[in-house]
Structure 1
Amino acid sequence: MKYIVGFSRIFVGVLFIFSGFVKLNDPIGFSYKLEEYFGEGVLNLEFLAPYALVLAIFIVIYELLLGLTLLIGYAPKFTRWSLLLMILFFTFLTFYSAYFNKVTDCGCFGDAIPLTPWQSFGKDIILLILILILFFNEKYLKPIFFKASLKWIVFASTIICLYFAYHVLMHLPTIDFRAYKIGTNIPEAMSYPEDAQEAVYKYEWTFDVNGSKEIHVTNGSYPDVAGEFIGVETKLINEGYMPPIHDFSFIKNGEDYIEELMQEDKLLVVVAYNLSKSEREGWSEIKSALQKASKQNFKIIGLTASGEDAISKFKEDFNLDFDFYFADETAIKTIIRASPGLVVLKNGTITNKLHWNDTDEFQN
């Protein structure tokens, strides 16, 4: 049992630290995931949505520190109770999400390791078993350093986590795990290989045959049935190959200009998923970068999910003279964790991304 507890301690501790770190690297992304869970039709806790970012930072730091305290043996009673309560809550949450198909990606490891709800639930079941082993064998959870030094290790780690969270919020994630990272060629990331597996669907056709309902299942073809057609239900069996970028566009006046814009040699995109929620201070900060880009013959455009009226008012308020294009809000949130933020492209390849705090670093 001593060795089983030792293995469980290391496995759970390292996993909690890793999971906490990848989400702490991108707390805004995790806050978006919390907003999904708080939304109508999932947990129906919309009143918590305004506090999603604060909750995200608290949860990921708490998760990371629990992994640390487990490994070093600090406050074993508090640690094991915290681990048990946390894993029970998240096991319920992932099961609920998977069974009712509410949130398609749990966000457990941020964008570093995407998991389906059922994969996440399976991971939580394994963790629950290991944590139960730890919970009932506290006598083996001995400190690995002098007890007097443990609280200082936890204190220093907390300060480092808080500083790291502040840094990535004021700039951008230190490690970019998303599909729109620097060096990505967007047209290539949107393309399908010739041998790409196509999506597989199951079609359940319902007919009224002599007064009774009959269901006939096909892979798409209309069944040859001597009866009155009532309806058809389509179910996805295998989604097939999905390119890393599949929901990106530059819409203006109902037309998608992505093919044209991806051929621009010098393109600067000012990104703000929702103009009313963007940081107004940021628009003043990016002015110097826009002036520099204009002198260097960049084509400057905006990208937002806001409507035409909001765009017109915003351009007037901030004296902006470039055109805005429309894209899906979720896609825009994925591109850059700043609102506003700057994305530099050369022939469809992302060469730089800048938080509005760092626009003085803009260069060709």
Structure 2
Amino acid sequence: MAGIYIHIPFCKQACHYCDFHFSTSLKYKDQMLDAMLRELELQKDYLHNETIETIYFGGGTPSVLSADEVNSLINRITQLHSVSGNAEITLEANPDDLGREKINALRKTPVNRFSIGIQSFFDDDLAWMNRVHRAQEAEASVKRAQDAGFENITADLVYGYPLLTDNKWKQNLDTMFGLDIPHISAYSMTVEPQTALAAFISKKKQPPMDEQQSAAQFADMLDAMQGKGFEQYEISNFCKPGHYSRHNSNYWKGVKYLGIGPSAHSFNGQTRQWNIANNAKYLHALGSNTVPAEIETLSEADRLNEYIMTSLRTMWGLDLTKLDSIAAGASSTLIKVAEGHISQGKVLNTGNILTLTSKGKLYADAIAAEMFFDVEH
């Protein structure tokens, strides 16, 4: 079992908070697609004939591609790999790209899941973020997708930024619930270096993010999601029972995946590699039939720490038995560190499975970091 991630490095315009790799020029889109097809060929043995269970188009904004362009990439994958008959094939999309004609065209491709970047249902918030779409488009795009027969839909929201009052956050959640979709992702606004938002804050043009506001809105969201029957299966991801993102869940469970495109990452259990985050250099390398990737062989401590970081974020938790399968005796070392968090009500230990409590989820990254093993390369 394995997955393939395809990074589409193009956007119509830059969101002020985003630090993902992309270009706002579509000038080299055709060359980029040709290079990705070539990379798929060059990397065909990376997953060692594992069956492909998930394909995920991320970015950037994959919905800038036409249905034919999406199909060309999927067709190449099916030519080179054994793809499961019920594979989950997700396309990230912006609401403004999902007109009726585009959705109907995508319906004829193997794409069977949309991840729609809504972020907010308030126009002033969307303008503050520098999003292309507006609130009315967001609701309309979901309904058009549903009318066309797409049932497996997820959408994103963002909380914890200055314009978002608690009342507006409640309205955003209520509007999302009203769309009757089975999966919702919600992220706290973070200020990443070298983004427009970071520059605005450093120049005092915007206030910094308020951690207390973010924590309060996170807590309100947990109550609201639970009340509507959503499971919090990962810190930022909620779904109706059985509607987990299979692709993202595999990341958290340590399943192998191949990343295609500039800045894309790959993982095969023993090594991790990442492509250069530069479109021109990526195109030049693939023009010479070379994959421009850096490769890191993971040490025992690396593999332990990756498992700790990812598993603790999920409702399935950290399995101490699996920890020992990576390194004998690792669980006894870790449990000593965990005892303090258990006594503080942040971590539960149930049958050798460690999970975060609602209180612990507010400190997920810090708790994981305290449990990390020293890395020696």
**TM-score normalised by length of structure 2:** 0.24
Higher strand residue share: 2
Larger Rg: 1 or 2? 1
